Amino acid sequence: MFDRDKWNEIFSTIRKNKMRTFLTGFSVAWGIIMLVVLLGSGYGLENGVRKEFAGDAVNYISINPGMTSKPYKGLKAGSFIRFTDDDHSLLSGLDNVTASSARTRIFGTSSLSYKNQFGSFDIFAVHPAYSQVESLTLIQGRFLVKADVDQSRKTVAMGRLVAEALFKNGEAPLGKYIKVNNVPFQVVGVFDDPGGDRDLSRIYIPITTAQKVFNRGRDINNVCIILDGASTAESQAVEQTVREKMSVRHRFAPDDQRALFIFNTIKEYEKFMNLFAGIRVFIWIIGIGTIIAGIVGVSNIMMIVVKERTKEIGIRKALGASPWSIISLILQESVLITGFAGYVGLVIGVATLEGMAKMIQGVDYFANPEINFNVAIGTTLLLIAAGAVAGFVPARRAAAVKPIEALRDE
């Protein structure tokens, strides 16, 4: 039930001690601001990293040939490793591998043309499964399929920016023939890629077609193997198997780290996520520590309030005031100060995050600093509870005051 007299008394006390109340509330508000900004920044870093990973899948291992750094079985160090189609066949058959693709970049002029439109874009020769590696989204048509590779078709899937550069005035790319280094290829699909402009300025052609048309023989640049549902431990086991199998095939020491360059996205992604989980725990420790410092300040202030009002409390009890009425008076003032200051801190913290979001647009590895709604609600409830705890000890002390001793107090 709303007690207007009690609230008037509380506000009267606050007005009489404006500076003390302000500094007490400021310490609580500052703790909330720090917690919100730190948490929001942590989420901003996590969102940025997720955005960078969005351009590629996080369930594949990329294997690239290198150069041996150790002598092995009569072979000197310094030998270059060269991959062929047989390496792709070997790696695609390993346990836990659900799909795979070789990849070869076509260097040279990289010239594309359609009618009187020309452009220089990246040309990659791949297998159909490569669409999973790059997390492509088809806008029109399809990506490369197994028949394109098996029959060495002259088909091409192009990025959105390539289509916009070659096909003007709204002309539909599907079914049209473009020239790739003066060789005609039929457009079968246009894709979008969350990786950004670099990935959207690419075209993909069947790897068997590239090997024949551009005289690549059976050589490939690298192999990507996809491990759907594999854990980090399972991916590391596959990684070790890859080194063992390839060391036998290419005759290099199994522990020669320079012979193969292996990038395990499953392991790297988990490493980043564990890092951010640790950062969040650290932020919560710092933020809650700051809030506790503010709450202790509130409790100390309420102890001073009780001390200053000892005679008044004694008179109230002598006139028949119940212990609960004394406790509720102190608790309400404590909850009011912490709750209001915390709410102000929450609003300022969220506004700060909004300002940061506008200022850092386009920054790598940092995007959309924000605070979870549930976290905001939880923080508010925490403040209410903390305000009650901060006022409870002084309130109990006030309720325990004996009227005769209070009236003697100087």
Q: What residues contact residue 74 under an 8 Å CB cut-off, 6+ apart?
A: none
Instruction: Give me the domain span that covers residue 376.
Output: 4-53+270-408
Closest CA to 6 of 321, 299, 306, 332: 332
| Three-state secondary-structure class, residue 141 | strand
* Same-domain status, 277 and 362: yes
* Same-domain status, 297 and 404: yes
Domain end marker among 169, 194, 215: 215
* Same-domain status, 277 and 381: yes
Q: Which two tokens stand for residue 77?
A: 């160090």
Does residue 16 fall inside a structural domain?
Answer: yes
* Same-domain status, 47 and 124: no
Please state, in angstroms and rounded to a whole number, the distance separating the CA atoms of residues 145 and 127: 8
Please state, in angstroms and rounded to a whole number, the distance separating the CA atoms of residues 410 and 53: 69
Per residue, the 3-state secondary structure of 329-384, as one string, reads: HHHHHHHHHHHHHHHHHHHHHHHHHHHHHHHCCCCCCCCCCCCCHHHHHHHHHHHH
Q: State how many domains the chain has.
A: 2
* Same-domain status, 111 and 41: no
* Same-domain status, 29 and 120: no
- Within 10 angstroms of residue 365's Cβ, the number of other Cβ atoms is 14
* Same-domain status, 41 and 116: no
Does residue 58 fall inside a structural domain?
Answer: no
Does residue 233 fall inside a structural domain?
Answer: no
**Model confidence over 258-280: pLDDT tens digits?**
999 999 988 888 887 788 778 77
Domain end marker among 171, 198, 215: 215
Task: For the chain, 410 residues long, give each residue's pLDDT as a single digit of tens.
Answer: 456 766 776 777 777 777 877 877 787 788 778 778 877 777 777 777 666 665 567 788 999 999 999 888 888 888 899 999 999 999 999 988 999 999 999 876 678 999 888 888 999 999 999 988 888 889 999 999 999 999 999 999 999 999 999 998 778 999 999 999 889 999 999 998 877 788 889 999 999 999 999 888 899 999 999 998 888 899 999 999 999 999 999 999 988 989 999 999 888 888 877 887 787 787 777 767 766 776 777 677 767 766 666 666 667 667 776 767 777 777 777 778 777 887 888 888 888 888 877 777 656 666 667 766 677 677 767 766 776 776 677 667 766 766 666 555 55
Distances (CA, A) of 168 to 37, 123, 157, 179, 378: 46, 21, 18, 16, 53
* Same-domain status, 113 and 202: yes
Does residue 366 fall inside a structural domain?
Answer: yes
Residues 17, 11 contacting (CB under 8 angstroms): no
Amino acid letter, residue 336: L
Does residue 18 fall inside a structural domain?
Answer: yes
Closest CA to 37 of 340, 288, 348, 339: 348
* Same-domain status, 209 and 306: no
Sign of the Cα pseudo-torsion (12, 16, 17, 18, in order)? positive
Q: What residues contact residue 111 under an 8 Å CB cut-off, 6+ apart?
A: 118, 119, 120, 179, 180, 181, 182
* Same-domain status, 347 and 274: yes
Half-sphere exposure of 39 (CA within 13 A, CB side): 23
Q: Which residues pair with 169 in a beta bridge?
A: none
> What was the pLDDT predicted at 136?
85
Please state, in angstroms and rounded to a whole number, the distance separating the CA atoms of residues 168 and 53: 32
Please state, in angstroms and rounded to a whole number, the distance separating the CA atoms of residues 277 and 4: 47
Please state, in angstroms and rounded to a whole number, the distance separating the CA atoms of residues 88 and 103: 10
* Same-domain status, 202 and 275: no
Per-residue burial over 6-42, b if 16 or more Cβ lie within 10 Å, else e, is: eeeebeeebeeeeeebeebbbbbbbbbbbbbbbbbbb
In the DSSP assignment, the letter for residue 145 is: -
Does residue 146 fall inside a structural domain?
Answer: yes
Does residue 65 fall inside a structural domain?
Answer: no
Domain end marker among 197, 215, 233: 215
> What was the pLDDT predicted at 1?
46
pTM for this predicted structure: 0.67
The H-or-E segment that residue 283 falls in is: helix 265-308
Closest CA to 309 of 324, 294, 285, 329: 329
Please state, in angstroms and rounded to a whole number, the distance separating the CA atoms of residues 209 and 171: 26
